[in-house]
Structures are given as C-alpha cells and as structure tokens.
Structure 1
Amino acid sequence: MEFKLPKYNHPKFDEEIFLSAPNAEYKIVEKDGVAPDNYHAMSIFPEYFKINGEWILAEETRMDCVPRINFEGKVEIVEFRALRVGDKVIVGRTEDASEGIYLHTSGFEKEVQDKDVFAFRGGRSRETSQTMDYDKLYELLKHEKENGYVVWVMGPAAVFSEGARNSLTKLINSGYVDAFLGGNAVATHDLEAGIYHTALGQDIYTQESIRNGHYCHLDLLNKARKYGSVQKLIEEENISSGLIQSCYKNNVPVVLGGSIRDDGPLPIVIGDVYQAQDEMRKHIRKATTVICMATQLHTIATGNMTPSFRVVDGKVRPLYFYTIDTSEFAVNKLRDRGSLEVITMISNAQDFLQRLADNLE
C-alpha cells in the first residue's frame, strides 16, 4: 500500500462567521512568567487568530501554552515560564471565531462511511488486529525517511533483549531515526549491554543472571563518569552496537531527561527538568512522526508537547503519533491527557522493533 499524506481542508474564511469576527484581543504581560487574566490556552489542533483583519494560523502549537503576538505581527506559542514583561498575549476563551479565535478540529476529517449503530470491538484493545497498523507504519516510515523527521521515545525494555537492541541498531543505521528522547535507564542499560552483554545483570540473550550482575549497570555508570563523556566511553570500551552507539555514529541527537530516582547518572543526562523539556521540544518542533514505547512518563510528557499537525513548506500535514506498550492503560493514557491524535498498538518492545527492522530492510 502506497503512503499518501491526507489533504488538509482549510477553514472557509469567506463565510460570514469569519468575515464579521473581531480581531483577537491581547493583554500585556506585567510580570515575567505570568500570563494576563483570561489568557487563551492552546490545544493540539490547528488554531487561527484574527490579527489586523487577517486570519493567521499558529504554525506551531503546544498544549498548555499561550499565544503571543511578536514584533512582526505573527503568532508565537510559548510556555508560561517564557513570558516576559511587555509581551502581547492573546486573551479569550471561546474557539468559535466570536473573539477572533478559531480552533479547527476537522482539517483532516475522513469521509464518513455508513456504519452499523451496533458493532463489536469498536475501540482499541489487546484483541485488536494490528496487521494493517504495521503495514501502514512501514509505508509511513519509508515516506518519512525521505521527507520527514521521526522522533523516537523509548524506555529500557527496548534494550533488554539482544534481538530488540540489534533491531534498533538496524533502524538507526538505515535512517529511520532522526532524534531519540528518553531517560537515564534506557541509555545506561544499552551501554551496559555493549560492555557486559547484560541489562540489569541479566544476559540480554539467555536472560540468565550472571554472578554479581547487579553491579554491571553501576560499573557502567562509574566508567562513563570516569571518562567524562559517553563518546569517550564508547571509544575506550569499544562499544560497536546498540542504541546510543548507533545514534552517535549517525549523528542522531540524543536527549535524556533526568529523574529523581536515577543512578549515576550518565554524563549526558540533563538534570534540570525545564532544560530537558526545552531540549525535547527542539526536536518535537521538527517532528512529523513520533513513536513512543515502553515508557509511560516520557510518552505522556512528549504527547503533551506534540500537536496534531505540522506545517512543512507552507503546507499543513498531520503529525503521526504512535504509542506502543504491553498495557492497554499505558497506551490509552494519552487520550485522557488530551492527545487525541494517537495510534495505539499493544505489543512488547522487542516484538515491535524486530518486526519493524525485518520489514524495513
């Protein structure tokens, strides 16, 4: 099946509701980091603001952020903590154009087909067939390799298996990964596997615990901190495979956000959560597809900063968001957080990665 981006349907701004709408109002920020009363908060959908009689699309949006009018009259989306005295923040809490603000939820609406009112298995669960999901994902990733920016977000389960770790190496070396986001654990256990062939002291192929295996990840962290950088660790310990080594070899950016329970951590882990958030957003701003697996915390964090669309070369296209986990609760949690444009797949990380690598070779 050949992949094709769906056509975006722009709002019909020649209709009376838009022509008669007032300009969006704004208020001036009076204290750094504090939005004015009645500020407008952004969603994941395309939002338009009427500025000087013209409807303008905020080309980047992030949930729980606010729209700011810059010196050029364009709309920027910023976090509350980024607001500065004198900024012009758009105010108004309607989204129907009556206050110069319009939220467009039907830009990529599919044709409505006749369906039975009653039908079995209308939702997504572990019983849902995923054959078509995989086929679509293969074609999407082939398209994105040449035309997009694919961000991967992974937990340590992605490197606990030799097969999964080798599959990740293949996917990165083949150009299907443009940026990697995660935490200290996934990188630590990937590098541990590169030196000791273990993850948390278990052989990544046989799954057998080795003698004093509980020291392996601590020894790895200690080595990394002794060398002063992950790059030096890879060179000195001759690590030749795995997630982190492949990212470094292929110049794929790695962003690791710290946690209060981290061991070590690795020298590249960002301990300041707001700095980590900013670094993650640099890649989410470019993302056209996001694939998250086996990390509920980082998946929800990434989902909250990911819109449902992206503007590329002046054209509006969907941003595809996949979440993969063995738990139905984990994959459906994003829907509760407002990230509605998400494809959920129930699978363990090892099977998912190996299936992708085998079919994308």
Structure 2
Amino acid sequence: MPPFPPYIPPDFTRPDLAAAPPASTEKAPRDGVLPAGFHATSNHPEYVHLGGGRWLLAVESRMDAVLVLEDEGVRVVEPRLVREGERVVMGRAENGEDGIYVHTTGFEPLADASSGDKFGFRSRGTRETPFSRSYDELYDILRHDRDNGSIVWVLGPAVAFDRDSRDAMASLVGAGYCHALLAGNALATHDLEAAFFHTGLGQDIYTQALVPRGHYNHLDVINEVLRHGSLERAMAELGIGDGIIRACLERRVPVVLAGSIRDDGPLPEVITDSGRAQDAMRVHARRATTVIALATQLHAIAVGNMTPGYRVMDDGTVRPVYFYVVDMSEFIADKLANRGSAQARAILTNAQDFMVNLWHNLRG
C-alpha cells in the first residue's frame, strides 16, 4: 500500500457548489501583465467550474501563480509568463462563489476521537518533540517514491562539511533516492573542496581541525573548475572519484545550482539570472512527490513557494506532495507555514545526524 492517505475530492452536489456560476475569464492586456481582479493560486487542489456542473482540477497548482483557461483545460502559470490575449481566470472568492473552489481538506485523516480535550500540551512540533515517528514515515515514503515518484533534495553546504553526511548523501544518490538536486554555488563548491582537500571552508571534514591557509581551498577549487570549463570535465580530468556532485553526474541526476549575490566564482554551471534559475528549479519542483530541504533556509522557502501540495498521477489518482524541512531552528518551519507551505513537516536536528541516520536505515 502507498504510504500516504487517500484523496477525498469535494462533493460538488452540495447545494452551494451545485449553484456555483461558471468561472469567468479576461484576456491578459499584454505579456506579463494580468487583468485586475485575477485569481492567484495556492498549493492546495483548486477546481474551476466550466459550467454545467463540470469542475476541472488544476494540475500542479502552486502558490502565486494564475489559471489560464485553454481549449484543452486549465493551465497553471506564473504571472511573468502569461502572454497577451491569454484567458486568465478571474475571482478572489475560493468557496465556489466565483466558480473557483480551493479544496484544503482532501488529505485530512479521519478525526482522532481518542481525546475530546480542548486544551493539551505539546500540540505543535518543537525542539523538544521526539521525531521517531517522523523518521519512520519518511523511510516508508522514500522507499515508495524511489521507484514510484520523484524525490527532490534542496541542500545547503553544511551537508558537505562533514565526512559522514557527505558520504551518506552520495550513497543515497547512488541508491536511487534522489531524482533532482537543487542547491546553490556553495554546496557544489564545498563538496568539491572536500574531494580535493578533505576540507570544508578550510576545516578538515572529519576532525574539524583548521588547515593552514585552508581558507584558500574553496577559491582554488572554483578556479580549477573554471579552468576546465565545466563540473563534468573537471571531475574527469582531475580524477575526482567521490562526493555528492560526482554521484549525481554518475547517475545522471539533474543538478540545478541557483546563484546569489554573495557567490564566489561562481562555478560554471551556476545560473546567475534569477528568472532562469527559478524556471530551472520549478521544473523539478512541479514533478516532485517528496521534497527534503536540508540546512538551507532561503532555498527551502523558495522551493516551498513553487512546489504544489499534491500531484495528479498518470493513473488519475491524486496524492500529497511531502515537504520535509530539516534544520536545527524552528524558524524555517514557521516561516514556510507563514508563506503558505502549510504541508511542510519539520525535523529539528542537525544536518549531519539526519543524513547518517537516513542512510543507515535505507541502505540495503
């Protein structure tokens, strides 16, 4: 059995939904400009009433996009990608009044009637929360999605700062538990620094001892890769045989490196145009069935914003998209929830312990 709850669609025979009008549209006045009063999407399942009781589920709904009505159905698209003349769905009401219904309870399990208390302690996850069950659920989800889904990792450089976590992530890639990797310049740079010098920002990745003049190491690595012209060419010509990026190249796992203002170098494959980087990341976010964002707050928020909360599978079934945030701070989980990614699940621990624990339980 799949490790996720069944999807319960809305009851469109309800009197309020049965009486709902068809959704209205207006043409975009020019490229990238929307008609006033457009409907902005969420990452919940959203339905558009086409008339006659026909409600169409928008595939891949995600936050801050819009719905464009086409002959073959409804397309979800970012505002900057809307073209002049396209029919944009209008309306701000979400309960059917404008022919739009946002369904927020499709994956909710049956209410737990074991306690009728209105007050209780420890009602939300914190650093005091035991995460044993969260880990067990994640193991089941990853085993399922390795062969039946798309597992997207969003990584910060801390994963490469420790020998064991770096080896664990590379092993997970090699074992098929990664279908795309989204990161920044730093993750790739410090993964290669570890391969070249056994350091991360100048510290030995096992002993954490500072290496003399180690602060040059990541700059020397970037320079070497630039000299060879690409990550793949540098790997081959410099004989790099281990690491996260190496494992991705060997498995042909897509790697998207999005640039930032503070990047050193950056490496040749880093996408420095923010619009292009967003487009490249969004390709994999839209395909994801499980996302694990590890030790990277800004990238986690970005990917959370572009990831749907559900997927319509090839057989027509609807399943949830799981979004795990792994960090030592509660801030990032709260931030994601405040930005609309209510489905984000937090595991509060350090990146190194998480990676090693995950690999020990999934290997073999």
TM-score of Structure 1 vs Structure 2, range by shorter chain: over 0.9
Given residue 334 of structure 1, which amino acid in structure 2 is its aligned partner? Answer: L
Corresponding residue pairs, total = 359
Given residue 51 of structure 1, which amino acid in structure 2 is its aligned partner? Answer: L
- Tell me by how many angstroms 1:162 deviates: 0.2
Query: Is the partner of 2:39 in helix, strand or coil?
Result: coil
Partner of 1:356: 358
> Structure 2 residue aligned with 1:342, among 344, 355, 359?
344
TM-score (norm 2): 0.97
Query: Is the partner of 1:269 in helix, strand or coil?
Result: coil
1:147 aligns with 2:170: no
Partner of 1:127: 128
Q: Among the aligned pairs, what percent are the same residue?
A: 49
Partner of 1:231: 232
Query: Is the partner of 2:68 in helix, strand or coil?
Result: strand
Partner of 1:280: 281
Moved >6 Å (runs of 4+): none
CA contact (8 A) 1:257 1:270 kept: yes
Query: Is the partner of 2:236 in helix, strand or coil?
Result: helix
Given residue 230 of structure 2, which amino acid in structure 1 is its aligned partner? Answer: S
Query: Is the partner of 1:102 in helix, strand or coil?
Result: strand
CA contact (8 A) 2:3 2:140 kept: no
Partner of 2:334: 332
1:80 aligns with 2:79: yes
What do residues 61-99 of structure 1 show as CA deviations (whole Å, max 9, x unaligned)? Answer: 110111001232x11111111011111000000011111
Query: Is the partner of 2:287 in helix, strand or coil?
Result: coil
- Tell me by how many angstroms 1:22 deviates: 1.0
Partner of 1:15: 14
Query: Is the partner of 1:126 in helix, strand or coil?
Result: coil
Query: Is the partner of 1:48 in helix, strand or coil?
Result: strand
Partner of 1:4: 3
- Tell me by how many angstroms 1:331 deviates: 2.6
What do residues 183-221 of structure 1 show as CA deviations (whole Å, max 9, x unaligned)? Answer: 000110001101111111111011111111011000000
Between 343-352 and 13-22, the greater mean CA deviation after superposition: 13-22
* Structure 2: gaps of 5 or more residues: none
- Mapped partners of 2:327, 2:209: distance in 1: 24
Partner of 2:272: 271
CA contact (8 A) 2:333 2:344 kept: no
- Mapped partners of 1:304, 1:292: distance in 2: 12
- Mapped partners of 2:159, 2:125: distance in 1: 23
1:68 aligns with 2:65: no
1:110 aligns with 2:109: yes
Given residue 226 of structure 1, which amino acid in structure 2 is its aligned partner? Answer: R
Given residue 177 of structure 1, which amino acid in structure 2 is its aligned partner? Answer: C
- Mapped partners of 1:330, 1:274: distance in 2: 24
Partner of 1:294: 295
CA contact (8 A) 2:310 2:318 kept: yes
Given residue 347 of structure 2, which amino acid in structure 1 is its aligned partner? Answer: M
Partner of 1:216: 217
- Tell me by how many angstroms 1:3 deviates: 5.2
- Mapped partners of 1:336, 1:110: distance in 2: 23
Query: Is the partner of 2:173 in helix, strand or coil?
Result: helix
What do residues 137-170 of structure 1 show as CA deviations (whole Å, max 9, x unaligned)? Answer: 1111101111110000000001100000010111
Query: Is the partner of 1:270 in helix, strand or coil?
Result: coil
Query: Where does 1:29-40 land on structure 2 (aligned, <5 Å)?
Result: 29-40=28-39
RMSD: 1.0
CA contact (8 A) 1:70 1:88 kept: yes
* Structure 1: gaps of 5 or more residues: none
Partner of 1:186: 187
Given residue 111 of structure 2, which amino acid in structure 1 is its aligned partner? Answer: V
- Mapped partners of 2:166, 2:7: distance in 1: 37
- Mapped partners of 1:237, 1:186: distance in 2: 19
- Tell me by how many angstroms 1:119 deviates: 1.5
1:58 aligns with 2:79: no
